[in-house]
C-alpha cells in the first residue's frame, strides 16, 4: 500500500527532527558541564594501581564500559572521581558516557556507601503494603534521601525494584538480614537499635 503525504507534512517533520536534535545537543552540553563539576568536587585520594588488572582485562574489549564500572566499584565500594579519569585516559571512554551510565543504573555509586546499606523493596507487593511510608519514615529519621549516606557513615538508604520476598511485604534488607511485615515504627526501631550498637562499639574502642 502506498502512502502520500503533503509538502507541509514533510516540512513539519524536518522541523520537528531538527528541533529534537537541538534539544539533545543542548542536554549533552549540560551533562558535560555537570560531569566536570560533580566529579571534580569529590575530595579523595585512592590507589589507582588497584585498577591495573581490571583495565588490562577489558581495555580492548567491545562493550567494556559496564564491566569496567562494575569492577571499579568492586575495588573501592563506589566509583571515585579519580577512577573516572583513569578509565578515560587508559581506555578512551568518554567521561560523559561513563557518568551517564553510572547515574542511570541504580547499582552504581559515586560516593562511599555507609557501613550498613538499607535496601527498601518497592516492588508491587511492597508498594501495595505501604513501603513508601516506611521509606519516608527512615528518610526523615536518618536525614537522607534515596541513595544518600548518613553523615556518620553508618547507613546508606536505597530503594530497589524487588528483593524477591513478596510474601513478607513490606520488606527491607540491611546487609544480609531481611525484615518483613514491617510498619514505619518497627523499621525505625530496627535502625535505631543498629545505630545504638554502633555507637556503643565505638565508645568501647576509645
Task: Give 46-97 as a DSSP string.
Answer: --GGGGHHHHHHHTTSTT-HHHHHHHHHHHHSS--HHHHHHHHHHH---HHH
Q: What is the pLDDT of residues 105-157, one digit of tens each?
A: 878 888 888 999 999 999 999 999 999 999 999 999 999 999 889 999 999 99
pLDDT at 175 exceeding the cut of 80: yes
Q: Is the dihedral of CA 48, 49, 50, 54 positive or negative?
A: positive
pLDDT score at 206: 62
pLDDT score at 18: 47
CB-based contact 138:150 (threshold 8 Å): no
pLDDT score at 191: 97
- How many CA atoms lie less than 13 Å away from 65 in the CB half-sphere? 14
Separation of alpha carbons 157 and 147, rounded Å: 5
For residue 10 the three cell numbers come to 514533510
What is the set of domains in the chain, with CATH numbers? 48-104 (no CATH), 116-205 (3.40.30.10)
Lowest mean pLDDT among 11-20, 37-46, 72-81, 86-95: 11-20
- How many CA atoms lie less than 13 Å away from 116 in the CB half-sphere? 21
pLDDT band at 4 (very low <50, low <70, confident <90, very high): low
pLDDT score at 180: 96
Separation of alpha carbons 189 and 168, rounded Å: 18
Q: Tell which residue, 129, 109, 110, 112, has the closest CA to residue 120.
A: 129
pLDDT score at 103: 87
pLDDT at 159 exceeding the cut of 60: yes
pLDDT score at 42: 46
Mean pLDDT across the chain: 82
pLDDT band at 44 (very low <50, low <70, confident <90, very high): low
pLDDT at 58 exceeding the cut of 60: yes
Residue with cell 551510565: 101
Lowest mean pLDDT among 14-18, 139-143, 187-191: 14-18
Q: What percent of the chain has pLDDT over 90?
A: 61
If DSSP codes are grouped into helix, strand and coil, which group holds residue 103? helix
For residue 130 the three cell numbers come to 505501604
Rounded to the nearest 10 degrees, the angle between the axes of helix 131-142 and helix 184-205 is 30
**ω into 170 cis (within 30 of 0):** yes
Separation of alpha carbons 86 and 72, rounded Å: 11
For residue 132 the three cell numbers come to 513508601
Q: What is the pLDDT of residues 69-113, one digit of tens each?
A: 999 999 998 999 999 999 999 999 999 999 999 988 878 888 888
pLDDT at 59 exceeding the cut of 70: yes
Amino acid at each position: 500500500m502506498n502512502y502520500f503525504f503533503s509538502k507541509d507534512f514533510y516540512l513539519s517533520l524536518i522541523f520537528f527532527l531538527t528541533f529534537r536534535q537541538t534539544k539533545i545537543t543542548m542536554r549533552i552540553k549540560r551533562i558535560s558541564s555537570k560531569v566536570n563539576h560533580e566529579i571534580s568536587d569529590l575530595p579523595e585520594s585512592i590507589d589507582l594501581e588497584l585498577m591495573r588488572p581490571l583495565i588490562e582485562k577489558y581495555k580492548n574489549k567491545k562493550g567494556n564500559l559496564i564491566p569496567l564500572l562494575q569492577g571499579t566499584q568492586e575495588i573501592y565500594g563506589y566509583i571515585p572521581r579519580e577512577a573516572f579519569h583513569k578509565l578515560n585516559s587508559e581506555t578512551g571512554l568518554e567521561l560523559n558516557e561513563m557518568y551517564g551510565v553510572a547515574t542511570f543504573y541504580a547499582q552504581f555509586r559515586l560516593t562511599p556507601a555507609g557501613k550498613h546499606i538499607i535496601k527498601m523493596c518497592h516492588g508491587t507487593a511492597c508498594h501495595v503494603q505501604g513501603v513508601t511510608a516506611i521509606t519516608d519514615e527512615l528518610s526523615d529519621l536518618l536525614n537522607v534521601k534515596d541513595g544518600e549516606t548518613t553523615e556518620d557513615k553508618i547507613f546508606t538508604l536505597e530503594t530497589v525494584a524487588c528483593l524477591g520476598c513478596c510474601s513478607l511485604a513490606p520488606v527491607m534488607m540491611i546487609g544480609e538480614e531481611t525484615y518483613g511485615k514491617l510498619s514505619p515504627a518497627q523499621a525505625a526501631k530496627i535502625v535505631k537499635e543498629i545505630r545504638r550498637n554502633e555507637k556503643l562499639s565505638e565508645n568501647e574502642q576509645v
